Amino acid sequence: MASGGAAADLEDIQTVDLMSELLRRLKCSQKPDKRLIFIGPPGSGKGTQSPVVKDEYCLCHLSTGDMLRAAVASKTPLGVKAKEAMEKGELVSDDLVVGIIDEAMNKPKCQKGFILDGFPRTVTQAEKLDEMLKRRGTEIDKVLNFAIDDSVLEERITGRWIHPSSGRSYHTKFAPPKTPGVDDITGEPLIQRKDDNAEVLRSRLAAFHSQTEPVINYYAKKAVLTNIQAEKAPQEVTSEVKKALSS
C-alpha cells in the first residue's frame, strides 16, 4: 500500500507515462529472473552491453560505485557506515558493500534480477555475495567474462579523444574526426583523458588480472561462467551475449 506522499506524487505523473510504465511491468513479468555478473577489464565493452541486457531482460544495473554514493547521499544506516569509512580514508568493507547490494535488491526495478558490474573483484567478495544470495534463497545464474587481449584494449583506449563541453568522443582509428584533434561540430580542440594513456592502462590491467583472474576461475568451477569474445564489433558482442543468456 503506497503512503499518502507517494500517492500524491503519482497524481502528478502524466497518464500516458503511468500507462507505459504499467505496460512495461506487465511485459517484464513474463521474463525469466536473471542474476548476472559482468567481468572485464576497462575498455572491454561491459558498459556498452549492460543497458542492452538491462532493457531486454528488465534487470537493474548495480554498479557498486553508484550504489555506495546513493547510500551515502540517502543516509541509510549502511550509507552512514560507508561514509565514515570513506572520510577516514579507509576502504569500504566487503560486508558493507554486500549489504548495500542486498538493500538494492529490494527495489521494484530489481524484481526480475540484476547485472552486477565491478563487483566481486576478489574471491572473498564472491563468497560473501554467494552467502547473501543463499540467505535470500537465490544464486548467480550467469557470469559473463568479457575476454579481450591487452594489446587490443591499448589500441582502443589510447586512441580515444573527447570534446570536453559536449562529451562527443572520437577514436583515431575507429571513429576519427574530420580534422585530426578537432571537434567536427564546433571546431574546438579535442582532449585525451588523463587515464587514457598506455602507462595508466597497463597498471590498471595488471591490477585487474592479478585480482580478478581468481574470481573468473571461482565461477568457472561453479559452471556459471561464459567467455565473451569482446574484441568483436559491439553488435556481434550483443548477439554473443544474448545467445549466452538464452542457454
Catalytic: which of 24, 193, 202, 243? 193
Catalytic: which of 35, 81, 121, 128? 121
Q: How many Cα atoms sit within 13 Å of 208 on the Cβ side?
A: 20
Burial class (CB in 10 A: 0-12, 13-18, 19+), 216: middle
> Phi, psi (5° rounding) for residue 43?
90, 5
Give the span between the Cα atoms of 146 and 44, in whole angstroms: 6
Alpha helix (H) residue ranges in 137-233: 150-158, 198-221
8 Å CB contact between 138 and 35: yes
- Crossing angle of helices 150-158 and 198-221, in 10° steps, is 140
> Phi, psi (5° rounding) for residue 194?
-55, -35
Catalytic: which of 69, 168, 204, 232? 204
Q: Is 46 one of the catalytic residues?
A: yes
Please name the helix (run of DSSP H) or strand (run of DSSP E) that holds residue 64, with its range, or none. Answer: helix 64-73
Q: Is 34 one of the catalytic residues?
A: no
Q: Is 202 one of the catalytic residues?
A: no
Please name the helix (run of DSSP H) or strand (run of DSSP E) that holds residue 226, with its range, or none. Answer: strand 225-229
- Crossing angle of helices 123-135 and 198-221, in 10° steps, is 50
The catalytic residues are 46, 121, 160, 193, 204
